[in-house]
């Protein structure tokens, strides 16, 4: 009798479980886009700067125009940074352009450069999947800055990192 009761309840459990069962076919999608690529056309060149020993900021706009404070003299042919970004047509991208440090040839003196493109700034690629990014910024020249050629590629320099993502 115990066997028949166990069989009976098992049968009821099986029927009740299957009577209320449902299923659905879940949808899975993926969008594949072109890999982002970037190339540098121009590096940023601030020109030749002479100072009377006062700490000041020299600025360059995204078109390459330099603003030099009255206590300094700026000369040469400056240029803003110019980068071509390629990817999926009409895609929105996010830019993170980080501060950099220029050092002299001995790596003993530095200056900070703050780009004029902020962190998390959004841009849109055009219909061909291209965007030209022009970067200027502010160079902090220290009081009595040692005469030398300063660069992010010198020992002690920190390059301007540009992060680009969809």
Which stretches of the chain are DSSP H helices?
2-19
Alpha carbon distance 166, 34 (integer Å): 10
- pLDDT, tens only, 92-122: 999 999 999 999 999 999 999 999 986 678 8
**10 Å Cβ neighbour count for 137?**
24
Instruction: Give the three-state DSSP class for 8.
Output: helix
Give the phi and the psi of residue 2 in degrees, each rounded to 5: -60, -40
Helix H, strand E, coil C: the string for 59-76 is EECCCCCEECCCCEEEEC
**What is the pLDDT, as a whole number, of residue 88?**
96
Distances from the Cα of 93 to the Cα of 34, 52, 73, angstroms? 12, 43, 38
- Is the pLDDT at 144 greater than 90? The verdict is yes
- pLDDT, tens only, 53-95: 999 999 999 999 999 999 999 999 999 999 999 999 999 999 9
In this structure, what token pair is assigned to residue 86?
């390629």
Q: Using a CB cutoff of 8 Å and minimum separation of 24, what contacts does 18-25 make?
A: none
- Per-residue pLDDT band for 141 (boundaries 50, 70, 90) equals very high
H or E element: which one contains 162? Answer: strand 162-165
- Contacts with 23 (C-beta within 8 Å, 6 or more apart), sequence order: none
Output the CA torsion sign for 50, 146, 149, 57: negative
- Per-residue pLDDT band for 12 (boundaries 50, 70, 90) equals low
């Amino acid at each position: 009798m115990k066997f028949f009761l166990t069989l009976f309840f098992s049968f009821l459990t099986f029927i009740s479980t299957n009577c209320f069962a449902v299923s659905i076919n879940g949808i899975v999608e993926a969008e594949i886009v072109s890999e982002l690529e970037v190339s540098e056309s121009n590096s940023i060149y601030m020109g030749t700067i002479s100072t009377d020993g006062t700490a000041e900021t020299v600025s360059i706009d995204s078109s390459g125009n330099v603003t030099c404070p009255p206590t300094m003299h700026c000369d040469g042919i400056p240029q803003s940074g110019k980068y071509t970004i390629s990817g999926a047509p009409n895609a929105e991208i996010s830019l993170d352009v980080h501060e950099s440090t220029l050092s002299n040839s001995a790596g003993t003196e530095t200056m900070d450069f703050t780009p004029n493109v902020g962190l998390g700034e959004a841009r849109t690629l055009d219909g061909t999947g291209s965007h030209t990014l022009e970067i200027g910024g502010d160079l902090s020249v220290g009081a009595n800055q040692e005469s030398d050629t300063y660069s992010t590629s010198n020992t002690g320099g920190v390059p301007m990192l540009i992060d680009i993502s969809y």
